[in-house]
Each structure stands twice: as C-alpha cells, then as structure tokens.
Amino acid sequence: MKRAAAAVVAAALCILAFGCKPERAGVPQGPKEWSAPTGGAATTPVDATTAEQVPPLPSGNVLSNGGFEAGLAGWEVWDQRPKRSPGNNVIETARWEERGGQVLHITRTSDRDGGASGVVQRPALDVSGAKSVKVRYLAYVTYEEGGNVGGGDPRWFPEGAAQVRVYYTAADGSKQEWYHGICIAPMDGYDRERFTVTKDNVWTPYESPNLMDLTPRPVRIDEVRFYGFGWGFNALMDDCFLIVER
C-alpha cells in the first residue's frame, strides 16, 4: 500500500504544480496537441429525398464537457466499491494547464478487491444513419494494481486504470457493449485487441475503430462510461469524446 500511497501523492503533487512535465530519459512524450474535434459539414452528397425523411443527427463530439473544463458538469459519477473491501475511490477534476485547465482524476485504493471510479453520460443517440461513430480519449496513468489488468482472463471484469465502455442497442434489438482500456502494467496474456499498453506518466491518446462496423450494427448509443477498474489505480483522463459523422 505504500507504493499506492506514494503514487497518489506523487500524482497530486504533479497536478498541483500546474502543467508539470515529467521528464524521464527514454520515455516518449505524448502528442503535442489533441485538439477537440469540430462539428464538420457533411462531405458526402446526400440524396435530397432521403435527407428530408431523416431527422438531423449531430456531427462531431456529442458528449458534453468532454474536456472537463466545467468540472464534472454533464457527467454522472460512477463510484463502485465491493462489500468485502470497499476501499477508497476518488472521482474529481484536477488542474492541468496544458490540457485546457481541467482533467478528470480517478483513483482507487483497496485491500486487493476490484472497484470502479469513473463518469457516465447517457446520450441515447440514434445513430442508425451515421457513417461513423468513434470514441476518443486521452489517459495519463501513474499507478495500477489488480488481478486481471489488461483483461486477459474472461472470467473477471477487465481491469485497467483508464477505460471506456459503450453500451448500445443493435439493429437486431439486442443490448451490446464495446470497451477499450489503457493500462501500464498488463498481466501475462492480456487482451491485445482491447487494451493499449503505455508507460506511466505520459499522456496517451486512443481512437477507436468505427463502431458502426460492429456486428450486430449499432442503431442507438445508450451510454458511455470512462473509468478505471481494479484493486487500485491512479489516472487522469481528458478529451473524452464520442465522435459521430453522418
């Protein structure tokens, strides 16, 4: 637990020192900019008759306050603690000047039992006419500990310090989930399709494939969660977007 506490304190100090840039030899820095997407005009010619019949679908990022510049406004907090070892979860925003001023800060400490700290939005968005639906986010992880980090063991909920999970209704009426995670300490045999492994103390961007290519095909995005899950973790997340192109 000393290691966990030290990591949390280190992260807090880092955050307090606005815009601190951990300089570590040999560690690649994240991208210089990860700008917010802008609502784009449709570039594909649309049949006029069809366009009149289809209600307007928003383009660009459809989640509100994805950069957390308004704190947690627009987000519902997800604070899940198991009965055996509830531990301590933190879901808050923290200062980071170079990331627009605020980022999401999620932590958990426990006596080796899995729990979640995160945020949720429920757009209930009809995407049946969308050309593309993608998730984007950035994560900065300083610590993680668990029994299934990287999600290699299907018997357990996938663990990782920074994850996204999209809940959607498919064309066949079924309820489906799609997820991805960023982690720094994956276990042997981790899920390479679902998890991106990065180094600690760097901002790492992720952009999903087009979720409209999933089978069965999504027709409505019900909910999007950004969170950490595991025995313990300390992470920052920012620019948590759901990008829709019609």
Nearer to Ca ion, 34 or 143 (CB): 34
Can residue 28 be called a binding residue for Ca ion (CB under 5 A)? no
DSSP 139-153: EEEEEEE-SSBTS--
Q: Pairing relation of β-strands 175-183 and 195-197?
A: parallel
Nearer to Ca ion, 1 or 17 (CB): 17
At its nearest, how many Å lie between Ca ion and the CB of residue 69? 6
3-state secondary structure 75-102: CEEEEECCCCCCCEEEEEEEEEHHHCEE
Q: Out of 159, 200, 238, 245, which residue is the one contacting Ca ion (CB under 5 A)? A: 238
Nearer to Ca ion, 65 or 80 (CB): 65
> Which residues inside 68-107 make contact with Ca ion, applying CB under 5 A?
99-100
Binding-residue total with Ca ion (CB under 5 A) = 4
Can residue 225 be called a binding residue for Ca ion (CB under 5 A)? no
Nearer to Ca ion, 67 or 160 (CB): 67
Residue 196: Cβ within 10 Å count: 17
Using CA atoms, how far residue 151 sits from 82, 185, 197, in Å, is 19, 11, 12
Q: Which stretch binds Ca ion (CB under 5 A): 112-120, 128-136, 216-224, 235-243?
A: 235-243
Using CA atoms, how far residue 1 sits from 7, 108, 162, 187, in Å, is 10, 11, 20, 19
- Site for Ca ion, rule CB under 5 A: 67, 99-100, 238
